[in-house]
Amino acid sequence: MNELTINLKTEGKTPLYEQIYEYIRSEIREGHIVSGEKLPSTRALSRYLEVSRSTVELAYEQLLSEGYIEAQPYRGYFAAQVDGLYQFRSQDQQEKKISPKAKKSYCYDFTPNGVDLKSFPYNAWRKLSKECLSDDRAELFRLGCPQGEYGLRRAISSYLHQARGVNCTPDQIIVGAGNDYLMMLLCAIIGTRHKVALENPTYKQAYRLFENLSCEVCTVDMDAKGMRVDELEASGADIAFVMPSHQYPLGTVMPIKRRMELLGWANEGVNRYIIEDDYDSEFRYKGKPIPALQGYDGKGKVIYIGTFSKSIAPAIRMSYLVLPDELCGVYDKRCGFINSTVSKVDQLILQKFIDEGYYERHLNKMRALYKSRHDTLLSALKDWRGDFTVSGENAGVHLLLHFRDGRSEQDLIRLAEEKGIKVYGLSEYFVEGEKKRESVILLGYANMNEEKIKEAVELLKKAWKK
């Protein structure tokens, strides 16, 4: 081979040697230049392409360094043996293959996972960010404590004790980038030779995580008080994952008697633990806040996990784990070498946000905001007088409609979709053992203001009118 037909672009920003390199690499990858085939000499190719010889030499040197071609003394350059190498598609083909399907847009979305980001405390966060970065503090950009910075852990410990009744010291707290990471870390601490029981229906992300981390996973049915302890005992599980302050998605609040029964179950086994996910306990609209289950635990059986994703914003990726004293030593031995996944700068900002009272003021603002939307939605539904009942309305940012008219969830979702409204069925939160039951629709209200909620409910009336 003495020539290669390469369409060189002299007016673009890509250097000529890089264009030659890309062309030959692509030809080898796609099998157009086969293993052992001789390439043109640098002199012959430079003459054919009418470029300097040094340009071709640069391209060949790069191909040599990456192993696409081989140089044989006195013989020249040959395509290397690359059998088994993944045959890459062209960029255009790759983009076509992986381009996601366009998502259908909705005028109104009753997502139960919503957070009102328009109310994010931009001014306070901006002010604290400037304060943190105003001095030249090199230590802020060094690796910090694997558990998270002590100042933030102290602030979280104080907040949890006052607001949630959690009994812990800063040394028991681990800060991490989201609940997913912390649950993976927890599996590394306690090991995967456990059988984990989750409520049914449940938070499916947790189910998938435990399953993918090679834990044996099962579900336990619920009654009006939460996870059934008799079925938990019968399941053979030694870890129970529960959301006692506001179960997702049913919105059940576990009463004190059931909590004591659950603690009793944990105390009967040496290696039994309860993982308490307290994801949105800040938002409650009836009665006093329910103290965390961890506060009733006197024997180190409850592992508490919380997050700032619902109360501030999901993107700050800040969650925390509270370990029993016994597991703190295990963490040090097995995972103490794993660096923190949260920036020290972000940790300092959040610490100041809590210590200087911004967090408490922000929570009060969000409680009032969500309470107004909660009341607006309930009022609109009450005026409707449809053939359904409402549950889960005392806390969180969503409620449930239980239909008694025989229509399926799929029909209700489809009819709402035809009016440009996205609603969610309870059936998608069941993992296994789903029994025949009424159709239940979840309506979240965090993302919509009062006017939009009224408009959406009026449209739902028309969509679901029989």
pLDDT at 95 over 60: no
Give the least confident one: 82-91, 242-251, 364-373, 439-448. 82-91
Contacts 24+ apart (CB under 8 A), 284-290: 284/246, 284/394, 284/395, 285/371, 285/374, 285/393, 285/394, 285/395, 286/394, 286/395, 287/394, 289/163, 289/164, 290/244, 290/245, 290/253
Q: What is the pLDDT of residue 435?
A: 56
Question: What is the DSSP code string of 4-48?
Answer: ------SSSSS-HHHHHHHHHHHHHHTTSS-TTPBPPPHHHHHHH
Q: The tokens 């965090």 sit on which residue?
A: 446
For residue 282, give the nearest of 214, 341, 360, 211 by alpha carbon.
360
pLDDT at 98 over 90: no
Q: Model confidence over 324-336: pLDDT tens digits?
A: 999 999 999 999 9
CA distance 333 to 101: 46
Residue 450's pLDDT band (boundaries 50, 70, 90)?
very high
Q: Model confidence over 312-328: pLDDT tens digits?
A: 998 888 999 999 999 99
Give the least confident one: 1-5, 29-33, 66-70, 252-256. 1-5
Q: What is the pLDDT of residue 433?
A: 56
Between 437 and 242, name the one with better pLDDT: 242
Q: What is the pLDDT of residue 434?
A: 56
Length, in residues, of the chain: 466
CA distance 387 to 145: 56
Between 349 and 9, name the one with better pLDDT: 349
Locate 132 and state its tokens. Answer: 């943190």
Residue 88's pLDDT band (boundaries 50, 70, 90)?
very low
**Amino acid identity, position 283:** F
Percentage of residues of the chain with pLDDT beyond 90? 65
Q: Which of 189-193, 288-292, 347-351 is modeled with the greatest confidence?
A: 347-351
- 245 in Cβ contact with 281 (< 8 Å): yes
Q: Which of 1-15, 125-139, 423-437 is modeled with the greatest confidence?
A: 125-139
Q: What is the pLDDT of residue 83?
A: 62
Rounded to the nearest integer, the mean pLDDT of the chain is 89
Q: What is the pLDDT of residue 105?
A: 83
Q: What is the pLDDT of residue 90?
A: 45
pLDDT at 89 over 50: no
Q: What is the pLDDT of residue 13?
A: 79
**Rounded to 5 degrees, what are φ and ψ at 226?**
120, -155
Residue 30's pLDDT band (boundaries 50, 70, 90)?
confident
Across residues 348-352, what is the average pLDDT?
A: 96
Q: What is the pLDDT of residue 316?
A: 87
For the chain, list the domains and their CATH numbers: 16-97 (1.10.10.10), 108-114+361-463 (3.90.1150.10), 122-356 (3.40.640.10)
Task: Kindly report the number of other CB atoms within 10 A of residue 428's CB atom.
Answer: 11
Residue 357's pLDDT band (boundaries 50, 70, 90)?
very high
Residue 1's pLDDT band (boundaries 50, 70, 90)?
low
pLDDT at 58 over 60: yes
Q: What is the pLDDT of residue 348?
A: 95
Q: What is the pTM of this model?
A: 0.77
End-to-end CA distance of the chain: 77
Across residues 123-151, what is the average pLDDT?
A: 89
Q: Model confidence over 155-205: pLDDT tens digits?
A: 999 999 999 999 999 999 999 999 999 999 999 999 989 999 999 999 999
pLDDT at 281 over 90: no
pLDDT at 249 over 90: yes
